[in-house]
Amino acid sequence: MRSPLRPGDPQSLGGYQLLARLGEGGMGTVFLGRRDDGSAVAIKMIKPEYAWDEEFRGRFRSEVRRARQVPPFCTAAVLDADPDHPTPYLVVEYVDGPSLEEVVTHEGPLADSRLHGVAVGVATALTAIHGAGVIHRDLKPQNVLFALGTPKVIDFGIARAIEVTSRHTAPDHMVGTVAYMAPERFDDAHRDITPAADVFAWGAVIAYAGTGRTPFRADSPVATAARILTQPPDLTGLSGPLAELVAVALAKDPDDRPTAPELLNLLLAQNTGASGIGRPLREAAEAAQLSGRHVSGGGRRPVAPVRRRTRTLVAATAAAALVLGGAGLYGRYSRDAPVESAPPAQAVMPVPGSVRGPWVVDALVRPGQWRASTDAYGASCSFRDGLAMTTPSFATTCPGPAQTFAGDQSIAARVAVGDARSCAEIQFRSAGEASYWLDLCPRTVRLRHEGALRNTTIGAAEQALFTPGQNRDVLLSLRDEVATVAVDGQVVLEKKLTDPSLLAGKVAFGVGPADEAKDQDVRASAHISRAEIRPIGDQPSAPTTLAFTDVRTGSTKSIVKVHGYYPKAKSVVVEPVLFMTGDEYCQTFNLKASPENPCEQAWLTEDSRMTVTLPTSANPTLTSTFDDPGRCAEDPVTVGTCAITPTQLSERLGNNGLVEATITNGTITAMADVYVP
């Protein structure tokens, strides 16, 4: 966005006339300039504190030389630079268009071909940049501009001149925006950043473009960094193959991410049909594929092609290669590691910061994280001492949690089939047109993969384990892409998952006819209760003496986050949190006061990421601050004291509202909303 020159700004720089300000960042100020021929350019004038550093000038000169070798495929070309000027400057092509951040802010998240075009454009730019031996280091939505509808990446390569200069590389200093930084960038021992960090930033940028939020969003830069290091991305709102590519790009280990050319190949393979990208962008992408001379991945792994699922036969046979090695997205698997043999009787409450992904607990005896439903064909999901599912002659699933589950995880439930011709089903890693299924039938336990092109059986155990009407405790464990199925504590099936692109997705429960009854007019039924979906293999990253309040049993009063309150069903979905002052938070987590951390805030919460469905009493006591906290709030905790109806409280809380809950023997008997000034 243009703004007038300020008093003290130069009128010209190195023979270029300066017309207006375009922006200001960590390295310097960007001006709109004019060349002698009248054409517009963008000129970045480096901050004075760097101008007096001879080491910086040398680095700047070297990085400019490399940046000028980057071919102009979806990049703003580097036109000129003067590292020896009293205030060093860089001249680049002027892109007369809004940034990706401005587009999303004013128009909302991108979708369909427009989102795919941005993904292709930025991947094209990274392919060109990495091919010239340059690393961007500061890829973010502000650095993606739109020119005639085609995205162009700016500000590449030069950040290294600051980041590697000795006097600017204190352990707590780095160039970039935290929300888009790869995990290795927070590791002082891992200072040799590779192009894989840019691929991670690509994943975060595309997630932002498609959802309007960053995938590791938190209340502070410190909390954001912690989520980048320990938790999977929140990709809710993205779907299909693009969501899968984003998930792989956001892998914690740089070796598990694709290179920029691999990423571009896969995006182009996905993009077929009338809704595809425009011709200029496709030509630039195809030219970039041929331009590179340098490896652009983590730099430590061999390159070996892995077939990926895509939407068309063309994509299925594309020459694109994506390397996942033998590694899962969030950790390694040891074949000697013990296999969990039975569902836990009750989940252990985590310590703060220890959970990498969503953790769902629901007895399924009432609506909460699963909902009742009936479709036009007669399939139904209802609650009768658990989730009762019926369907006429075809498989169906019941609506469940909206969270996306990734990495090492377990899915536990108590399962019963209704008769000899019925199968209970667990759908997992469901994303777009693909998912995995665990079929639990009277004579068979089977793992299968359902894709856009074909369905395959991964493995089956022919055992008569599910006698109709009899409950069995089922545990499905996913470790390093190996699925292990245990029934009543005994492992009955263990198979490697077959789709390397399907690393995350939703979980659902369902019912369908057994194989021998699929061509018959039968009504299949199954019953599931005591559901728990959680990450496995987490290590505490906070004081082990500090844990969240266990709201499932006993009697307590605790502040919780409410994800849904259903007065008619007498149920509420809550997430235990720690609610503390800024000073208490920083003392607890050993943070020193600074503008980047939350010590100065009045109140803060630390989320457990564990959602639990609890019953409420018949007539719980409900109070609120309404819109008059001076009259209806109790100091100093600011808990509401004025009576409110269940419907009003449900509407007021929405999703993620805070309440002080009074719990008696696992039942909520009172809720007071919490006012946070």
DSSP character string of 123-142: HHHHHHHHHTT---S---GG
CA distance 187 to 501: 27
Contact 659, 557 (CB under 8 A): no
* Active-site option among 82, 96, 138, 234: 138
- Rg, the chain, Cα only: 28
> How many Cα atoms within 13 Å fall on the side-chain side of residue 445?
22
**pLDDT value of residue 191:** 53
Query: Mean pLDDT throughout 52-61?
Result: 75
3-state secondary structure of 447: strand
**pLDDT tens digits, residue range 403-432?**
878 778 999 999 999 999 999 999 999 877
Query: What is the value of pTM for the model shown?
Result: 0.53
Q: Which of 367, 382, 362, 398 is nearest to 568 (CA)?
A: 367
Checking if the pLDDT of 172 tops 70, the result is no
Cα(599)–Cα(61) distance, rounded to whole angstroms?
40
The confidence score (pLDDT) of residue 141 equals 95
| Secondary-structure breakdown of the chain: helix, strand, coil percentages, each rounded to the nearest 5 | 25, 30, 45
Reply yes or no on whether the pLDDT at 303 is more than 80.
no
Structure tokens at 117: 């075009």
Q: In which residue ranges of the chain is CATH 1.10.510.10 found?
A: 100-316
pLDDT tens track for 226-236: 999 999 999 99
- 301 has pLDDT over 50: no
Number of residues in the chain: 677
138 as an active site residue: the answer is yes
Question: To which CATH superfamily is domain 100-316 assigned?
Answer: Transferase(Phosphotransferase) domain 1 (1.10.510.10)
* Across 258-284, average pLDDT: 75
Instruction: Please state which CATH class domain 359-535 belongs to.
Output: mainly beta
Numbered ranges of CATH 2.60.120.560 in the chain: 359-535
Cβ-Cβ contacts under 8 Å for 450 (sequence gap 6 or more): 434, 435, 436, 437
Compute the average pLDDT of residues 39-45.
Answer: 89
- Is pLDDT larger for residue 181 or for residue 452? 181
Question: Of 99-108, 262-271, 322-331, 597-606, which gets the smallest average pLDDT?
Answer: 322-331
Segment 216-238 mean pLDDT: 91
Give dist(CA 20, CA 11) in Å, integer: 9
Pairing of strands 78-82, 380-383: unpaired
The answer on whether 44 is annotated among ligand-binding residues is yes
146 has pLDDT over 70: yes
Which residue, 281, 259, 284, is CA-closest to 198? 259
Looking at the predicted structure, is the pLDDT value of residue 346 above 60?
no
Structure tokens at 371: 């909902």
